[in-house]
Structure 1
């Protein structure tokens, strides 16, 4: 989806070059390079301007960002979407359980990417699928999508810098301590494409904080915060301390109480990639987890 940004240059920004201004705003090197082909990408007070020219206080600086990435052949498939927030830069969705995020072998038309493609096509807002925080197929909850390359770049930087605060709810087996921090590196299991485990020799750093909210039927309801975002981090860490998630097909396939792993992305806190305003979005908890407690 094409996007136009408008900036009014302030006294403090007087004398800043165009390129330095854009870099400070969060435009990545890749985006700046892609903009070179568009002769109308940068204008000041209605006139074209080059990247090395200086901006003056009071200037109206306009940036046009054309979409240059295709949709990777994702097939649009109409399906219900639970939208928590949307504007021209981001789309935040409450993803249901049992829905893959991306197409893969055996999952070509039943993914969130298919549904989002159909939703945007219906609004004539064609955009590649840019997912910022990824959720496993059986994990429900809040997920951020960037609707243009700039918002994707800014939010990806926030994610790398641990500036997106993610709050999860999880049901685990057994009675955990009231709270705790798990600091244990995670790596891929040898000869497996998807399975992970704690590995102090080869693993990447992974830190999980948890607080017990309630106990019922020998299960604990936890509020969890991640410092890092390793694949299957919560599932691996909770199993590592002896409190696995039930109904986890990969790590603990016990289906006495749940049909899927009870893990929900409850809340996302971040700064809007364009306005810089603080955002706090809450995803209603799925019925199976509500019924358990």
Structure 2
């Protein structure tokens, strides 16, 4: 069960009207502020407040987490939760699963599984994924557990405060141990689901670092971090270097595999309401790459 009240204490540098404090200091969006105001459940020192009067140092502000109908529809599935607080959830997504439903008839996405978890644990909230992973990419996905943490985590993602690190097995041996790919990415006019490096595309920056080489197999394990979050960014960038991801037929891999070898391995998330952050790891799946390469110890 979730605590349904958020509590904040005003410091001497935050002597603002309540409306401004909740919007600018806490980060609650305007639309949700209106809902909170209409609910008449926001209290200052356990009393109904004046929303335009400046707050005083030491004031206690109580903000309700308003209940919502759970959506999308709940599906009972075995999801692997790797970290949880009352504000957020990190789930290790399997390859082959969509992050969210692709249609009204789709009940097998990870979000449907999270909805079932919410339902079973008394969490009355929409399922909000803060970012997403491609269908065949496995690994850590961050979900917010209520509207306020969702808005704050969305903003932190935009500000690049949420850090994601990926592992990929790529073809060939990299000529440099580390580097940065700064190439814009746009849609491929000849293929609806494909992206490509394009001078007219959106800015895309990927940093790579070689973890291990497999010279006999002509494969390299690389660690990657992103400054931007374009669709298929890692897949496009590694292919553009002549090192497509193992098993990624769409971007030029010569190997057939049941998935391509890309995994969201590490996730660093700031706490939505405190000056601290957590780092979690999603275990590398055993069928990440070819059977002769053992990565489970990572």
Question: Which residue pairs with 1:180 in the alignment?
Answer: 179
Question: Which residue pairs with 2:53 in the alignment?
Answer: 53
CA separation in 1, counterparts of 2:47 and 2:252?
62
Question: Which residue pairs with 2:44 in the alignment?
Answer: 44
Q: Deviations over 1:160-179 (max 9, x none)?
A: 11111111000011111211
Relative to structure 1, the CA distance from residue 146 to residue 193 in structure 2 (aligned partners, 3 Å threshold; closer, same or farther) is: farther
Relative to structure 1, the CA distance from residue 5 to residue 58 in structure 2 (aligned partners, 3 Å threshold; closer, same or farther) is: same
Structure 2 counterpart SS, 1:135: coil
2:102 to 101, 104, 126: 104
Aligned residues of 1:164 and 1:270 also touching (Cα < 8 A): yes
The answer on 1:29 being equivalent to 2:27 is no
Shift of 1:249: 4.2
Structure 2 counterpart SS, 1:119: helix
Alignment RMSD = 2.0
Q: Deviations over 1:106-165 (max 9, x none)?
A: 971221011111111111213212111210111111110001111111111111111111
Moved more, 103-112 or 122-131: 103-112
Question: Which residue pairs with 2:221 in the alignment?
Answer: 221
Aligned residues of 1:175 and 1:219 also touching (Cα < 8 A): yes
Moved more, 271-280 or 208-217: 271-280
Aligned residues of 2:125 and 2:147 also touching (Cα < 8 A): no
Scaled by the length of structure 1, what TM-score is found? 0.91
CA separation in 1, counterparts of 2:171 and 2:250?
16
The answer on 1:136 being equivalent to 2:134 is yes
CA separation in 1, counterparts of 2:253 and 2:211?
24
Aligned residues of 2:212 and 2:220 also touching (Cα < 8 A): yes
Aligned residues of 2:97 and 2:136 also touching (Cα < 8 A): yes
Aligned residues of 2:211 and 2:221 also touching (Cα < 8 A): yes
State the 4+ residue runs in structure 1 displaced beyond 4 angstroms.
none
Q: Deviations over 1:47-68 (max 9, x none)?
A: 1113212211222211113145
Scaled by the length of structure 2, what TM-score is found? 0.90
Relative to structure 1, the CA distance from residue 126 to residue 255 in structure 2 (aligned partners, 3 Å threshold; closer, same or farther) is: farther
Relative to structure 1, the CA distance from residue 59 to residue 268 in structure 2 (aligned partners, 3 Å threshold; closer, same or farther) is: same
5+ residue gaps, structure 1: none
Shift of 1:16: 1.9
Alignment of 1:204-243 (within 5 A): 204-216=202-214, 217-243=217-243
Aligned residues of 1:180 and 1:210 also touching (Cα < 8 A): yes
CA separation in 2, counterparts of 1:238 and 1:106?
34
Alignment of 1:1-293 (within 5 A): 3-13=4-14, 15-22=15-22, 23-40=24-41, 42-68=42-68, 70-72=69-71, 74-105=72-103, 108-176=106-174, 177-190=176-189, 192-200=191-199, 202-216=200-214, 217-252=217-252, 254-256=254-256, 258-289=257-288, 291=291, 292-293=293-294
CA separation in 1, counterparts of 2:83 and 2:105?
26
Structure 1 counterpart SS, 2:287: helix
Aligned residues of 2:3 and 2:86 also touching (Cα < 8 A): no
Q: Number of residues paired by the alignment?
A: 287
